[in-house]
Amino acid sequence: MRNAHTDAMGTPNVMSMTRRALLGSAVAVAAGAGTSAAADQGSATAGIPVLWREFSRTPFTHPQIPYVGRAGCHGGAARFPRRPAGADVRDFGAVPDGTTDSAPAINRAIAAAGRAGGGTVTIPPGTFRIDDVIRVNRSNVVLKGAGSGRTTLYATKNLTELIGAYGSRYGGDKSGWSWAGGLIWLAPQARWDSLVAAIRAKAWPFEGWTGNQRDEWRPLTGVAPARQGSWTVTVSDSSSLRPGSLVLLRLADDADHTLLEHMCAGGPGPEAYVWDDKTKLTSYVPYEWPVRIARVRGRHVTLERPLPLDLRPEWNPQLTTHVPELTGSGVEGLTLEATETPQQPHLLDKGCNGVVLQCAYDCWVDDVTVRHVDNGFGLVAASACTLRRTRVAGRGSHHPYFCREGSHDNLVEDFTIEERTSPAPSNTQLHGINVEGLSSYNVWSRGDMRMGTFDSHRGLPFANVRTDITVNNNGRHGGDASAGPLFGARFTHWNIRVTNGRAGLIRIDGLAPYSATVGIDEVTEFDQIDVPDFTGDLHSRLELYGSPYTVRPQNLFEAQRQIASTHMNGVES
């Protein structure tokens, strides 16, 4: 008989970790967090929701709450890797006078560190003008300023000027940079080369983990059926798999779209939904999930994270290679300030964008502020990355944070979205912390959102968590109708303080299937455009409504990380 710690083949997944140890860890976290409070609506005792007690018993397979305890760079590690000194940008010609174009010098320093196998490229205090994109395109290279209050990169041009106006995915004269690309752009060189080639050909590329083409990979092995939440899978041939290597799990959809239905937890609602006309959504499959291998024993392969979905034969589950990723790189300790220009109407943004991680894995951004941007921080086909101590400031922005095109297992923590410093045109849109395009198991934690919302941009994102956030909920969601549902299953909003009483996209028990809304303020203003995509019972849960300050644990990700540590200790032993 299987339990939460065996896969579909009956293979043990937790190694030496016992259920008693797991429950002890979970209860200890719950008991040590938050403040005591009376039960709310009869659903919780002393501020501990029934949902948390349930999750503690089945953390990897709970129907409403996803397991995200390993989200972020190196499994959400508190410290980032330290790289040896590689270069000082002044040695390559950079000048902190605010007038000399230092972009070529900074890019030369990055290239030199990359050729040496990695290292830290330091930018001293001062203001460095940049008239080009800063490209962190080599692994194990860290671009490090003296602190966000001491080192400034002053960007004088936007991406339309720098890379070219090449037409639009949207048609007409709309911008190609409305939420794509960054003035600091972390992406592997191969991805950059293919993007530039596509721009010159006037053809917008597919922006998935594998780059522009679906044939830039080769199969490694088939995978036997397994259940969502399993840490160990059985493969046909493990001869090419090594501990520590990064592989791509690929799941194809079938003609009846049962994979997409499974992302919504199945049932009558998803089964009755019309999928065939959702052309943008169906272009996102196969679902591609990068993951490192933790251990190989015969044909049993243990992964560094549990399976995000079931593996069924009709979806042809396989492990494959992928295009070369950017890994082990970061940006730290600086402010990127664009020239202050008026915010453009919707989809006319010129590309004064901040920091974007694309086709990146185990990369990070720490202590970075972006100012006067169209779009702030982006995750595009990026996985297992951490954005920590980041801030979006200045004039209004379209997407302060965006997470798209199959981005998984990322962590955004200790983030701030400041209020606009200047009014925006009436036909602009403000979103906030966005997720879309089959992106899954991402976390936004400990945030101060003075504007924006919890935007889903459609494209069936699923199993994402927002926790311990204060929000002035004044944004709206976006997304083309062809991108399909706003939500898949296992979205969780946990301990959310809503300062203006607006419900839209925050209280999701009437919108998202198999979701959890736990510990939010009472909210009354619902948007007419926020309507459920699926008919029937959504099997969503609402607890501690009106009591965000009493919920224990206060931070769902931090509590889950304790469970992650217990599990990984079992794997490593």
More confident residue, 4 or 259: 259
First to last CA, the chain: 25
Given a cut of 60, is residue 171 above it in pLDDT?
A: no
- Measured distance CA(117)–CA(398) in Å, rounded: 37
| Helix (H) / strand (E) containing 151 | strand 151-155
Strand partners, 444: 412, 466
Contacts of 528 by beta carbon, 8 Å cutoff, 6+ apart: none
- Measured distance CA(486)–CA(436) in Å, rounded: 8
Of 306-315, 416-425, 442-451, 473-482, the one with minimum mean pLDDT is 416-425
* 568 band by pLDDT with thresholds 50, 70 and 90: low
Residue 512, token pair as written in the block: 């998202």
Task: Compute the average pLDDT of residues 292-315.
Answer: 98
Distances in whole angstroms, Cα of residue 116 to Cα of each of 5, 84, 133, 144, 202:
43, 11, 22, 17, 35
Question: Residue 11: its pLDDT value, please?
Answer: 32
Given a cut of 50, is residue 30 above it in pLDDT?
A: no
Task: Dump pLDDT digits (tens) for 207-262.
Answer: 444 444 555 789 999 999 999 999 999 999 999 999 999 999 999 999 999 999 99
Contacts of 79 by beta carbon, 8 Å cutoff, 6+ apart: none
Report residue 41 CA to chain centroid gap: 33
More confident residue, 110 or 423: 110
Q: pTM of the predicted model, to two decimals?
A: 0.91
* 179 band by pLDDT with thresholds 50, 70 and 90: confident
Task: Compute the average pLDDT of residues 178-193.
Answer: 87
Contacts of 456 by beta carbon, 8 Å cutoff, 6+ apart: 434, 435, 436, 477, 479, 486, 487, 505
Task: Dump pLDDT digits (tens) for 115-136.
Answer: 999 999 999 999 999 999 999 9
Task: Dump pLDDT digits (tens) for 512-527.
Answer: 999 999 999 999 877 6
Of 20-29, 96-105, 300-309, 465-474, the one with minimum mean pLDDT is 20-29
Task: Dump pLDDT digits (tens) for 541-558.
Answer: 999 999 888 999 999 999
150 and 369 Cβ atoms separated by less than 8 Å: no
Task: Compute the average pLDDT of residues 443-471.
Answer: 97
Given a cut of 50, is residue 205 above it in pLDDT?
A: no
- Residue 21: how many CA atoms within 13 Å on its side-chain side? 14
- Measured distance CA(118)–CA(455) in Å, rounded: 36
Given a cut of 90, is residue 63 above it in pLDDT?
A: yes
Question: Residue 406: its pLDDT value, please?
Answer: 93
More confident residue, 28 or 481: 481
Of 22-36, 162-176, 215-229, the one with minimum mean pLDDT is 22-36
Task: Dump pLDDT digits (tens) for 134-157.
Answer: 999 999 999 999 999 999 999 999
Question: Residue 19: its pLDDT value, please?
Answer: 35
Task: Compute the average pLDDT of residues 440-448.
Answer: 98
Place of tokens 């941009």: 457
Question: Residue 348: its pLDDT value, please?
Answer: 85
Task: Compute the average pLDDT of residues 9-19.
Answer: 34
Strand partners, 467: 445, 494
Given a cut of 70, is residue 111 above it in pLDDT?
A: yes
Domain ranges of the chain: 219-320
Q: Mean pLDDT across the chain, nearest whole number?
A: 87
Given a cut of 70, is residue 2 above it in pLDDT?
A: no
Question: Residue 202: its pLDDT value, please?
Answer: 61
* 164 band by pLDDT with thresholds 50, 70 and 90: low
Q: What is the DSSP code (8-state) at residue 191?
A: H
Residue 218, token pair as written in the block: 């080769």
Question: Residue 343: its pLDDT value, please?
Answer: 84
Report residue 171 CA to chain centroid gap: 28
More confident residue, 567 or 389: 389
Question: Residue 23: its pLDDT value, please?
Answer: 35
